């Protein structure tokens, strides 16, 4: 399993390492549950975050670089005999490029079984049930990410810096979306255009209990995916 993340601003209250910390937490949990049946590679910590570059602290790779880094990590594992490959993605901005990677690598290596999972998509049906912030409430440094961080690493959340939900700049009804509700049309916007403070959604609805629940749902689903892949 290759965790891929991002190093980017997460508003005034979460660290820039948020996506890496979330991905590595899931990877550690998986390792604890499944032990030697899963090898976790070192995280590709920097991802594709061009849309966050208006905010200091954010780092980004070009798509071509990201594709190349993932390819070389997985080819290394391939040379040591690994054929069941899973990319665990924790960053929305990596989704498109991960899909391209999947299609390229999968076609070029028919001896492998390769899958990509973005944690929130894998469990979006379950997450809907306790999403309190409604449409637009879960995007970035939001109800879900903040809850997870309160559970995983409470000391790195600045509770006093959590700001109430900003009115995200409206565009078109067909372009409105969040982590649980994909838009009908993809419209390019930088994070600064979406939200002046870099938060998209409502972190005031976050709490550690919710984070624990999300983590459990994700770890359970992820274990299931890995077990299914291992049946081949
Ligand atoms: Zn994030």
Q: For residue range 66-98, what is the model confidence (pLDDT) as tens digits?
A: 999 999 999 999 999 999 999 999 999 999 999
Sign of the dihedral defined by the CA atoms of residues 115, 116, 121, 126, in that order: positive
Q: How far is the CA of 90 from the centre of ligand 1 (A)?
A: 7
Phi, psi of 195 (to 5 degrees): -155, 125
Ligand 1 centroid from CA 192, angstroms? 15
* Residue 172 CB neighbours (<10 A): 10
pLDDT of residue 120: 97
- What is the CA(10)–ligand 1 centre distance, in A? 6
Rounded percentage of the chain residues whose pLDDT exceeds 70? 100
State mean pLDDT over 16-25.
98
Residues near ligand 1 ion, CB 5 Å cutoff: 18-19, 145
145 CA to middle of ligand 1, Å?
A: 6
Provide mean pLDDT across the span 183-203: 94
Distance from the CA of 163 to the center of ligand 1, in angstroms?
16
CA–centroid distance, 84 to ligand 1, in Å, is 27
Q: If you measure from the C-alpha of residue 119 to the centroid of ligand 1, how many angstroms do you get, rounded to a whole number? A: 11
Rounded distance from Cα 199 to ligand 1 centre (Å): 10
pLDDT of residue 168: 73
pLDDT at 37 over 90: no
Average pLDDT value for the chain: 96
Distance 140 CA to ligand 1 centre (A): 6
Q: How far does the centroid of ligand 1 lie from the alpha carbon of residue 146, in Å?
A: 9
Which segments of 152-216 are extended strands (E)?
200-201
CA of 7 relative to ligand 1 center, distance in Å: 9
Q: Is the pLDDT of residue 189 over 80?
A: yes
Three-point CA angle 125, 128, 133, nearest 5°: 160
Per-residue pLDDT of 152-172, as tens digits, reads 999 999 999 999 887 677 789
Instruction: Give the pLDDT of residue 199.
Output: 95
Query: How far is ligand 1, taken at its centre, from the CA of residue 81, in Å?
Result: 32
Indicate the pLDDT class of residue 36, thresholds 50, 70 and 90.
Answer: confident
Alpha-carbon distance of 210 to 213, in angstroms, equals: 5
Classify 195 as helix, strand or coil. coil
CA of 95 to the centre of ligand 1 (A): 12
pLDDT at 232: 84
pLDDT for 107-152, tens place per residue? 999 999 999 999 999 999 999 998 999 998 999 999 999 999 999 9
Instruction: Quote the tokens at residue 58.
Output: 């954010």
Ligand 1 centroid to residue 188 C-alpha, Å: 18
CA of residue 149 to ligand 1 center, whole Å? 10
pLDDT for position 130: 86
Largest CA distance in the chain: 51
- Compute the average pLDDT of residues 26-37: 93
Say how many Å lie between the CA of residue 79 and the centre of ligand 1. Answer: 32
């Amino acid at each position: 399993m290759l965790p891929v993340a991002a190093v980017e601003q997460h508003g005034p209250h979460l660290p820039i390492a948020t996506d890496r910390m979330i991905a590595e937490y899931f990877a550690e949990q998986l390792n604890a549950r499944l032990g030697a049946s899963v090898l976790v590679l070192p995280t590709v910590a920097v991802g594709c975050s061009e849309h966050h570059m208006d905010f200091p602290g954010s780092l980004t790779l070009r798509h071509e670089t990201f594709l190349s880094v993932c390819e070389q990590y997985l080819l290394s594992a391939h040379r040591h005999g690994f054929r069941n490959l899973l990319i665990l993605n924790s960053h929305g901005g990596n989704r498109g490029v991960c899909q391209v990677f999947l299609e390229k690598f999968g076609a070029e290596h028919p001896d492998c079984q390769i899958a990509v999972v973005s944690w929130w998509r894998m469990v979006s049906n379950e997450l809907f049930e306790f999403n309190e912030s409604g449409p637009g409430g879960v995007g970035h440094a939001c109800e879900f990410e903040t809850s997870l961080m309160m559970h995983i690493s409470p000391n790195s959340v600045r509770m006093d810096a959590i700001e109430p939900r900003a009115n995200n700049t409206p565009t078109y009804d067909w372009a409105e979306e969040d982590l649980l509700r994909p838009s009908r049309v993809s419209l390019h916007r930088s994070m600064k255009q979406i939200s002046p403070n870099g938060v998209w959604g409502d972190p005031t609805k976050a709490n550690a209990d919710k984070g624990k629940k999300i983590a459990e749902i994700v770890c359970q689903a992820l274990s299931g995916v890995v077990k299914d892949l291992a049946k081949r």
